[in-house]
Chain A
Amino acid sequence: MDVILGPWPWYVGGALVAIIMLMLIILGKSFGVSSNFRTLCSTLGAGNSCDFFKFDWKAQRWNLLFLVGAIIGGFISVNYLSVNQVSDINENTVAQLHQLGFESAGKEYIPSEIFGELSLKNILILSIGGLLIGFGTRYAGGCTSGHAISGLSDLQLPSLIAVLGFFIGGLFMVHVLFPLVF
């Protein structure tokens, strides 16, 4: 049981994600989560004020169902497949995070300093992060699933450029902005 209830190794996670991508392609679809944001905007009526959202969103219903599945998957993981799973990160990372003020590093799955309390600062972090994710993924035409997994698996150059961008942005955030934010 420990094999199931404990953290799963990276090769199991990576292999499952690849199989899911291949299954979706065989089903005549594609693996890309962020396009759901555009679909959701359309279902909320954004097509009335902006042409970008005027498309046949009902053809994307399968992807919204995939998203519903992902939510259920998170629920099942926490309630039935885990016993208080803690992210067992490198001890240097833990020490570094303690210095930044993250006492939860090495003790929790995600930091309660950000997700535990809805302080003004945390609300700002989550809203600005959300804006960047929503705007950036659509501008880049995809996120980690569409570019880093699907696009790179298909050896597409645009996806390589996008993933390079993901890393430039991520490295800048963690190494330059984090010391100013936290």
Chain B
Amino acid sequence: MKNLVYIFLGIVFGIAMYKAEAASWFRIYEMFNFQSFHMYGFIATALLIGAIGLQLLKRYEAKDIKGEKIKVRPKEKSIIRYLIGGVLFGLGWALVGACPGPIFVLLGAGVWPMLIVIVFSLLGTYLYGIMKDKLPH
């Protein structure tokens, strides 16, 4: 039963990303050309509601269903890994026109070439895993 909640949230996520076109290569290209407010509005709306919601949950010391205090795990302090990793991901995001969520949403939409992207994303993740200790973090 609890498993169904995650599948349900995933379905809503998939539909939202597809229907509001955050899974569209064209929309990502348009965003990186600053030619439409669409994607910026999408992200800004998510951030506004997300930030207010999180602040409220924290202010009223809300607990999650396990009874633990609500918090987002703080990311470890660094600049270099976020910058280099971010740039590499950004290059891939613009080229494929999809970030990890939409890659799977589009697979479900019947865009089979996304299977190639997924296989190579797994390979890229594996490469990071074996090179991790040699990279600056």
Contacts and interface: CB of A to CB of B under 8 A. Distances in A.
B134 to A, nearest CB: 12
Given A28-B64, A131-B121, A134-B120, A13 B86 contact: no
Interface of B: 3, 5-33, 35-39, 41-51, 53-54, 57, 62, 64-66, 68, 70, 72-79, 81-97, 99-101, 103-111, 113-114, 116-130, 132, 135
Nearest to A91: B35
A156 interface: yes
Q: Is the interface of B mostly helix, strand, loop or mixed?
A: helix
A70 B57 contact: no
A14 interface: yes
A143 B15 contact: no
Chain A residues touching B, range: 35 or more
A44 B51 CA distance: 36
Contacts of A105: 26
B125 A138 contact: yes
A72 B14 contact: yes
A145 to B, nearest CB: 6
Contacts of A24: 9
A69 B129 CA distance: 27
Nearest to A132: B92
A93 B91 CA distance: 19
A13 B19 contact: yes
B85 A138 contact: yes
A96 interface: yes
A181 B88 CA distance: 17
B82 to A, nearest CB: 4
A61 B5 CA distance: 12
Contacts of A179: none
Given A40-B122, A138-B129, A161-B86, A90 B68 contact: no
A92 B35 contact: yes
A93 B87 CA distance: 23
A26 to B, nearest CB: 5
B43 A149 contact: yes
Given A12-B20, A149-B43, A131 B92 contact: yes
Given A10-B39, A28-B65, A41-B129, A169 B99 contact: no
